[in-house]
Amino acid sequence: MVIEVKTLFTIIVNALVYTAILSLIAVGLNLILGVLRILNLAHGIVMALGAYLALSLTTLALERVGSIGSSLLQGALIIIVVLLLSGLLGGLLFAVITGYLMVRKLIHYEAIYVLLITYGIALVMEDVIKFIWGPKGYVIYGIYPLFGTVEIAGITYPGYYFILLATAFIVIASTYIFIDYTSIGKIVKAVASDRETAVMLGMRADMAYFIAFAVGCMLTGIGGAFTAPLLTLQPGFSLEFLLLAFIVVIITGLGEIRGIPIVAFIISLLRAITVTYVPELEMAIPFLLMMLVLAFRPQGLFGGR
Amino acid sequence: MLALRKYDIYVYTVFILLLLLLPIVAPRWIEFLVIIALVYAIMVLGLIPLSGLGGLITFGNGAFVALSAYTIGLTTRHLGLDSLAPILIPALVTPVITALLISLVVLRARYVYFALATVAFTMLLYTLLLKLYFYTGGTDGLRIPNLFLLKGVLDLKVRDRVLGDAYTSYYLTVVVFALVLFATQRLVNSSFALSLATLRDNERRAKMIGINPLTTYSLAFTYSALTAGLAGILYALSVGHIDPGLAYWTGPSAKIVFILILGGFSIPGCILASFLYILAETYALKYLSYYWQFIVGSILLIILLTSPKGLLGLPEAFIKIRNLKTYLSLRR
Amino acid sequence: MRGVSLNVDEGAITCITGPNGAGKTTLFKTIMGLHIPYHGSIIFYDEDITVKPPRYRVMKGIAMSPDYRGIYANLTVKDNILLPLMTLGVPRSVREERLAEILKVFPELFTLLDRNGTQTSGGQQKMIAIARALILKPKLLLLDEPFEGLALPVQRRLQNILMEIRDKMRCTLLVAEPTISPFKGLCDHVFKIDRGVVYRG
């Protein structure tokens, strides 16, 4: 079987795009897992919120842009900003509505209890979204044209792909900087690592938890928002991403944010290859990888405390 | 340890007898409800050792239900099987072996991590069942025909109407339920249960006394897979139709966790809760079919959020559980 | 803890001694706010802080160095020391100033600043914990077993440092140690605690 250069590049580009989204979701998930030690079963909802909000807001924006007749560049910039905002808003909304409740409970009760709360929230929110936006599928038109096309090895790709890549990169890099180099980030790390000592030193654990939770949700919201133009939005679309994000998190290691883009890329690449040649096994490979990692290095590839 | 209280045996025996006699007085739709409730109760009872005593909540048991159900489905569809008896053992062995195999891997994780892994596993099965539609029928699912119990020996079919106009499978279900009830009662009052509770309390200390976490949890996990497999078989026989949704993480997998909590992790509580839940779901589906998730989720949230002491406070919040104190003392 | 009645003199070094498990750490944790007592009250400069959260007490000027050191592995030594200042929102310039002051007291920490929290020995971690408590310029300093794990000359230096802190910073010190005899010269007052009851020693 000869692999054409064209196919190779298509696989790589697709993998990269998928990596960008997966990284955003997985970093958000792992941040919440690492700091609050809860599995947010409603994480798919956060992504969906970001995506559906992006749907509504971009539709609004596109109408506005169309009627004013602004230039292509202006339109493109506006859309990028709108997408970012949708994601941030979606994440923040979710974090504020549910997070404060959960954080309070978390400090006093077992993690499993909070996990079940997230499950209840997931059930409720899924129907709320269905109620607001309806069960049918949506496709957002009008975004791709704003970003032009890029040609690599004879195949044209939407320019949007690269905007997505750039945005994801900037957002994730900012998160790293936030965690490692700002005072707040260090406080969050301290609370996550040893809460009692942190409290003894005067830190507010609930605030630290909430910040981590909010940031995690916002990242996921952005991931969802930027995914919206790529596919048909319908209830349950976030499942696949959520599942793979789970797997990425397990393979990278609980709470280890650093290695996520790398693992995400490996998974995305494997997935892209599998989808091209053996579509039925799409989900099997990442899962097998996860099993392997759990079997030989349960703390994750990058974990190890 | 606790002896099997005589009181309990009497109550349960009476309950089983009532179930057996039910079809004489009850209309068909009640029988059907009872079958489903019992199927769920079987699954939840199987979950008590692992999740109740051992503290490992799993969202993946739907996978085992699907495994046994699809074993039957695939053999009837592709191999032309028409009797239950020959396929019974394979249908049970499949989930059990799978559980043993993956427990080696999945049980290296704990709690949140573990829940994650179980979700991933069951969703993997789901997507496999979905995508390999040539074999499995995809979203359409598979039809389970009316199988003979054992062709040539017992020419009775599972969905034939027998005593009191109930399915044969109804009686099968009651019998299996009784067996699982008995087995779970024994398990829960054994030293195995103590090991599990100790593990949940403080794993390091447990290891020091010589309790092996892997084998203990693995056994509990396999037990839950066994009951789920039994449930899968009964479900397939009675309902006559299976689909990949059985393995979906918000399908039976999650419902049994919900029922487990509702029932306060105790045997009588869970049985009652199964019935309550199935009743509620049937009506919610009938009248509010579209948003039943919202209802269930809200109820769950209300229960969880108003419980005074988190999870431990739940049983005190409403159902009177006979064995509650024992569980509480085992736990702390 | 059963019958604790303790009056601590301002500006003095008070030592609390007693066997392990007697309740020294519990006492300290209660003063710090990590435990809330069932009965009784804690009065700090005429204010009842019995139920106030630890953060409040930190802001009022109480700081503690725990017996288990509690140094963060995922932060540098410098960050570990500066943590309390960060939580109180102290601006960077002031933080650097205070760090310089602390380094005068513990010059051996200078070379360790960029290391990771756990790339240090037990004794060094002890000093980091004390430096961290000091950086707030607290009015009340709680030291739970500060001398444990330190080499003898270092212990002697620490004694002198503590006395300097008392004199120069007008700080009240509460020191808990299982045996107080090596440090007799340090203490202005001594209390004994045994099975939860405190009495003069």
Distance of CA B301 to the CA centre of its chain: 22
**Chain A partners of C32 at a C-beta cutoff of 8 Å?**
200
What value does the mean pLDDT take over residues A89-117?
A: 77
Q: What pLDDT band is residue A304 in, cutting at 50, 70 and 90? A: low
- Token representation of residue A74: 């202006």
Is B163 part of a structural domain of the chain? yes
**A201, C84: Cβ pair inside 8 Å?**
yes
- Domains of chain C as residue ranges with CATH: 13-200 (3.40.50.300)
Residues of chain B with pLDDT under 50: 1-4, 309-327, 329-332
- C143 conformational bin, left if phi > 0, alpha if psi -120 to 50, beta if neither: beta
* Chains sharing 3 or more CB pairs under 8 A with chain A: B, C
Residues of chain C contacting A197 with CB distance shorter than 8 Å? 66, 70, 72
pLDDT surpassing 90 at residue A169: yes
Calpha distance B146→B167 (Å, rounded): 11
Q: Any chain C CB within 8 A of the CB of A202?
A: yes
Q: Are A79 and A143 in contact (CB under 8 A)?
A: yes
Domain span including residue A211: 5-296
Q: Among candidates B84, B88, B91, B87, which has minimal Cα distance to B153?
A: B84
Residue A144 lies in a domain: yes
User: Measured between beta carbons, which residues in chain A are less than 8 angstroms from residue B111?
Assistant: 111-112
Between B233 and A235, name the one with better pLDDT.
B233
CA distance C99 to C123: 19
Per DSSP, the residues of B171-216 read HHHHHHHHHHHHHHHHHHTSHHHHHHHHHHH-HHHHHHHT--HHHH
Q: Check CB contact under 8 Å for A287 and B115.
A: no
Q: Phi and psi of A207, rounded to 5°?
A: -65, -45
* CA dist A260 → A23, A220, A254, B108, C115 (Å): 6, 14, 11, 21, 25
Partners for B (CB, 8 Å, 3+ pairs)? A
The length of chain A is 305
Q: Where are the beta strands (DSSP E) in A96-192?
A: 149-152, 155-158
Residue in B126, B297, B294 with CA at minimum distance from that of residue A239: B126
User: Chain C: residue nearest A193 by CA?
Assistant: C72
* pLDDT band (50, 70, 90) for residue A275: confident
CA distance B76 to B157: 14
What's the whole-model pTM score? 0.81
* Smallest CA–CA distance from A295 into chain B, residue: B105
pLDDT score recorded for residue A187? 93
Instruction: Indicate the pairing of strand C197-200 with strand C43-44.
Output: unpaired
Whether B226 is in a domain gets the answer yes
Contact pairs from chain A to chain B, CB under 8 Å? 118
Residue B283 located in a structural domain? no
Residue A172 lies in a domain: yes
Which of A106, A282, A291, A297 to mutate: most B Cβ within 10 Å?
A291
pLDDT band at A155 (very low <50, low <70, confident <90, very high): confident
Beta pairing class for C189-194 and C197-200: antiparallel
Chain C closest-CA separation from residue A106 CA (Å): 17
pLDDT of residue C129: 92
DSSP result, chain C? --B------TTSEEEEE--TTSSHHHHHHHHHTSS--SS---EETTEE-TT--HHHHHHHTEEEE-TT----TTSBHHHHHHHHHHHTT--HHHHHHHHHHHHHH-GGGGGGTTSBTTSS-HHHHHHHHHHHHHTT--SEEEEESTTTT--HHHHHHHHHHHHHHHHHS--EEEEEES--GGGGGG-SEEEEEETTEEEE-
Do the domain assignments include residue A305?
no
Residues 175-234 of B with CB under 8 A from A: none
Token digits for B212? 């092996």
Examine residue B186 and state whether it is found in any structural domain, yes or no.
yes
> Is B230 inside a domain boundary?
yes
Helix axes A5-36, A260-277, angle to 10 degrees: 140
What is the C-alpha separation between B67 and A233, in angstroms, rounded?
31
CA distances from A198 to C55, C62, C87 (A): 10, 14, 9
Question: CB–CB of A196 and C34 under 8 A?
Answer: yes
- The helix (H) or strand (E) run that includes residue A140 is none
For residue A249, the chain B residues in CB contact (below 8 A) are 116
Question: What are the residues whose beta carbons fall under 8 Å from the beta carbon of B172, sequence distance 6 or more?
Answer: B158, B234, B237
Contact B278, B42 (CB under 8 A): no
Residues of A in contact with B311 (CB under 8 A): 109-110, 112-113, 116
- The whole-number pLDDT of residue B324 equals 44
Q: Rounded to an integer, what distance in angstroms lies between the CA atom of residue A226 and that of residue A233?
A: 12
Residue B264 included in any domain = no
Pairwise CB contact (< 8 Å): A239 & B116: no
The count of domains in chain A is 1
- Asked if B55 lies within 8 A of A112 by C-beta distance, the reply is yes
Chains that touch C (3 or more CB pairs under 8 A): A
Chain A residues near residue C64 by CB distance under 8 angstroms: 200
> CB within 8 A of B204, min separation 6: which ones?
none
Higher pLDDT, C183 or A85: A85
Check whether A305 has a pLDDT greater than 60: no
Q: Furthest-apart CA pair in chain B: how many Å?
A: 59
pLDDT surpassing 90 at residue A297: no
Do B304 and A116 make contact, defined as CB atoms within 8 angstroms?
Answer: yes
- CA–CA distance, A8 with A14 (Å, rounded to integer): 10
Round to whole Å and give the CA distance between A224 and A229.
10
pLDDT of amino acid B322 = 36
What is the distance between the alpha carbons of residues C189 and A29, in angstroms, rounded to a whole number? 53
Q: What is the pLDDT along chain C (201 residues), one digit of tens a residue?
A: 666 777 788 888 888 888 877 778 888 998 998 888 888 888 888 888 888 899 999 999 999 999 888 889 889 999 999 999 999 888 999 999 999 988 988 888 888 888 888 788 888 888 899 999 999 889 999 999 988 888 888 888 888 888 888 888 888 999 888 887 777 788 888 888 876 666 665
Q: Do chains C and B touch (3 or more CB pairs under 8 A)?
A: no
pLDDT at B38: 94
Q: What ipTM was assigned to the predicted interfaces of this complex?
A: 0.87
Mean per-residue pLDDT, A97-122: 76
Q: Which of B111, B127, B300 sits opposite A112 (nearest CB)?
A: B111
In a domain, B276, yes or no: no
- Chain A interface, mutation test: which of C72, C116, C130, most A Cβ atoms within 10 Å? C72
CATH of the domain at A56: 1.10.3470
How many residues are given for chain B? 332
Judge whether B198 lies within some domain: yes
Nearest to C83 among A190, A204, A305 (CB): A190
Find, among A255, A244, A267, A264, the residue nearest to A216 by Cα: A255
State the pLDDT at residue B156.
Answer: 72
Evaluate whether C144 touches C31 at the Cβ level (below 8 Å). Answer: no
A254 pLDDT tier (thresholds 50, 70, 90): confident
Count of structural domains, chain B:
1
A65, part of any domain: yes
Of B72, B110, B74, which is closest to residue B90 (Cα–Cα)? B72
pLDDT for B2: 37
The pLDDT of residue B220 is 93
Please provide residue B121's backbone torsions phi and psi, each rounded to the nearest 5 degrees.
-65, -50
- Model pLDDT for residues A24-75, shown as the tens digit of each residue: 999 999 998 888 877 788 898 899 999 998 888 888 888 777 666 666 777 7
Residue C201: predicted pLDDT: 56
